[in-house]
Amino acid sequence: MIGAIIGDIAGSRFEFNNHKSKEFELIVPECNFTDDTVMTCAIAEALMTKGERETLQEAAIRTMHSIGKHYPNCGYGYYFYTWILNDLTEPYNSLGNGAGMRISPVPFAFDDRAQMLEAAKAVTEVSHNHPEGIKGALAVADVIWMARQKMSFEEIRQTVNEKYYKLYFTCDEIRPTYEHVETCMESVPQAIEAFLESTSFEDAIRTAISIGGDSDTIACMTGGMAEAYWDVPEDIRELAEKYLDARLLDIVRRFENRYQNRI
């Protein structure tokens, strides 16, 4: 999940001020974590603390509410902000890319693919129960799971094309005209393509940001995939961790300690 958090932090300053190039300083003082990081940590906490008499859906609702309320100004969309702040428990048919940005802990917590996809669906549909929202989350989770297995980019691309989205473009082709869109079907394929064109963890983040759009969320999704496939440079990890408060950093470290053999 640290890869997703790094992507979120690096992309945060470009969310509404796109930078259509891979040339930029990766993380600078103007960067910050956003709702992408907060909800990623909330899902990680749900996976770690689900009680015996609690479903994973109930755990996700509990942790997204409890953790989310500590960060009311981190960039939630209107409907999700209302869902958290009012302790709502029913989904609201969202197809927003928030479904994909918070999912990265799930494929690190499960070795079995079917169980992983079931869990990914469970933590997504508590809010984003539109079919496109669920598909977006499952696509991101499945790519991360495949990347963990070190499947080839060709194998991953084929699976995505067959099960989720047709990747009919390159990042170079869409970069000049791609704009800010916050739906899964207009963000998740782009995040996957950025990962599949990458040559390193850092290159994946830079490529994701360079296409524009919802930069923090696209880089967050790409970052989760890249973490699973490439080594995360220690200097980038250490720099990004300085942007987290004690609560979020504790969740990251507990999650990594618990699932250390899978990261």
How high is the pLDDT of residue 261?
63
What distance separates the 2 farthest-apart alpha carbons in the chain? Answer: 51
Q: Determine the length of the chain.
A: 263
Tell me the helices (H) and strands (E) count for the chain, helix number first. 15, 0
As a whole number of angstroms, the distance between CA 82 and CA 72 comes to 10
Q: Can you give the pTM of this predicted structure?
A: 0.97
Name beta bridge partners: 183: 96
CB-CB neighbours of 172 under 10 Å: 11
CATH code of residue 84:
1.10.4080.10
pLDDT tens for the chain, 263 residues long, are 999 999 999 999 999 999 999 999 999 999 999 999 999 999 999 999 999 999 999 999 999 999 999 999 999 999 999 999 999 999 999 999 999 999 999 999 999 999 999 999 999 999 999 999 999 999 999 999 999 999 999 999 999 999 999 999 999 999 999 999 999 999 999 999 999 999 999 999 999 999 999 999 999 999 999 999 998 999 999 999 999 999 999 999 999 999 976 55
How many structural domains compose the chain?
Answer: 1
As a whole number of angstroms, the distance between CA 127 and CA 56 comes to 13
Q: Domain of residue 159: give its range.
A: 2-262
- CA proximity to 116, closest of 138, 131, 135, 100: 138
Q: How far is CA 10 from the centre of its chain?
A: 13
Tokens of 33: 């974590």
As a whole number of angstroms, the distance between CA 142 and CA 2 comes to 17
**b/e string for 222-241 if b means 16 or more Cβ within 10 A?**
bbbbbbbbbebeeebbebbb
Tokens of 105: 């802990």
pLDDT in tens, 197-242: 999 999 999 999 999 999 999 999 999 999 999 989 999 999 999 9
- CA proximity to 209, closest of 28, 20, 6: 20
